[in-house]
Amino acid sequence: MCRASTMTIRVRDDQSDAPPLSRPFESKKRPASPTIPRPPSPTPERLLKILSLIASRHWQVFDYAYLQNPERFRDLVSAVDSTPALNGMTVLHMMVRHAPPTRVLARAVEICPDMCTSTDALGRTPLHVAAVTGDVSAIKFLAETCPEACSLLDADEKTPLIILCDVDAVLFAGDGGRDEPPSFELVQALLVPNLDAVVVEDATETNAVEYAILSGCERRTVRLLQRASQDVMKKSRGETVHRCMMLERRT
């Protein structure tokens, strides 16, 4: 019986481009695709510049530089979250403070949806911040996107609705109270997605209806809050709740 012979291919030293073969007639393997290195997280100096971009409301530049690159935006979110000096504020907290366009908010929330219910060191969500700014488009978007945030309490047991109705509410050092009480449209935008928030009392046992009265809201705004309170109480007792036209938002 003849024994099969084994052929070994020798590679010359000057053939550095050829792949080494360790077994007879081994097929050439395709090289692995190169790994694209992930960009490093922003340095503190770079992070400050980015936050200044938000504060200056250069939304088109911010959109192009970060929101059009989800991985880069997530790195920014992570860098902000890990910066103690920001007291737990997220990128979304900062964005809603400076009246971003709805499309910019929508893109940020699409990439990082958990930011809607993220809280800072004082338990405030981005919706709490939007409420004190009086930006109706941001309030509408955040309340409709995340209705559960309407009932979340901050460290003073205030909901976004209470903050909206309390013209003396101040969230940031250096800010003053608001000159005008919230409009009917603002209250409606925050109230409709989650009626239950209207009966919540803060640490001083004051609810949104009482704050609205104290702040001098117009009569129909107070009536809207009162009607919402009645509906919530009726529902809790199992009574029939009739549709209220005031609680239907007109688009």
CA atoms of 9 and 19, how far apart (whole Å): 12
What single-letter DSSP state applies at residue 246? G
pLDDT for the residue numbered 38: 52
Residue from 64, 137, 51, 150 nearest 107 by CA: 64
Q: Which pLDDT tens digit goes with each residue over 202-240?
A: 999 999 999 999 999 999 999 999 999 999 998 888 888
Q: Which is higher by pLDDT, 180 or 20?
A: 180
pLDDT for the residue numbered 26: 44
Share of the chain above pLDDT 90, in %: 66
Say whether pLDDT at 33 is over 70. Answer: no
At 15, the pLDDT band (50, 70, 90 cuts) reads very low
Share of the chain above pLDDT 70, in %: 79
- Backbone dihedral region of 216: left (phi > 0), alpha (psi from -120 to 50 degrees) or beta? left
Beta strands in the chain (DSSP E): none
CA atoms of 197 and 208, how far apart (whole Å): 8
Q: Which CATH number is 44-247 given?
A: 1.25.40.20
CA atoms of 245 and 242, how far apart (whole Å): 10
Domain spans of the chain? 44-247
Q: Which is higher by pLDDT, 40 or 151?
A: 151
Q: Which is higher by pLDDT, 103 or 175?
A: 103
Q: Dihedral sign, CA of 157, 125, 122, 100?
A: negative
Neighbours of 57 (CB within 10 A): 14
pLDDT for the residue numbered 49: 86
- What's the whole-number mean pLDDT along residues 190-213? 94
CA distances to 123, 152, 169, 248 from 206, rounded to whole Å, are 18, 16, 13, 26
Q: Which pLDDT tens digit goes with each residue over 54-77?
A: 999 999 999 999 999 999 999 999
CA atoms of 112 and 106, how far apart (whole Å): 10
